[in-house]
Amino acid sequence: MMAQYRSHTREKIAYMEEYLDQFHRMKDIFLEHRVSKRTRAKVDKQRKELRHQRAQSNMGVASSKRRRRLEDDRDEENELGMDMIHTESHFNFVMIHLLSHFSDHIRQFGNIPMYSTEFGELAHREQIKDGWRRSNKNHVERQILHSYGRQHAIRMRLLNMNWLRRLEANLGDDVLGYLDKTRCTVLGGSFGVRYSDS
């Protein structure tokens, strides 16, 4: 990817911006492959309602005329379905949004070696998914925030005690023994506590 080049000229940055604009102009092609289950259910519901309405309106119509109407109705169903897909589906998520900031970032700070979205994904897994698993699934948001806040407070406390230990502050033997059992490390930008049995 051009954003990971070691050096950039104005022309390279202009190419990046041009490619990004071209992607945004053409991305609608991929929308039908990015349809959520909820959107697909809405499209199916809309299609069923249209068919029901048409079945009622075609009750007294001759079969040859009904066949012609059926072809027109299918085209209309497909058009309405695609319209629904285009309004409900989107590319509004973090990784796509970050692309719009690359050129400004390069102009301000230089090249972007090792630019990655893994940090956000790791934070999502640690903070949200693990919190969800630990919750009882009632008022989940509150439980996740409470659990994460409690973990963060404990980690900060352990880091402060380790810092005091390095300064040779007067800590009790029980505190020193506990600090020997735990090891505070920084994992992916967030604090992690490891307990060792040895």
Please state the domain extents for the chain.
Answer: 2-115, 120-195
Task: Note if the pTM is more than 0.75.
Answer: no
Sign of CA pseudo-dihedral 150, 195, 131, 140: negative
Cβ–Cβ < 8 Å for 111, 6? yes
- Structure-token pair, residue 154: 């404990």
pLDDT at residue 115, rounded to an integer? 60
pLDDT at residue 190, rounded to an integer? 42
Low-confidence ranges of the chain (pLDDT < 50): 185-192, 195-198
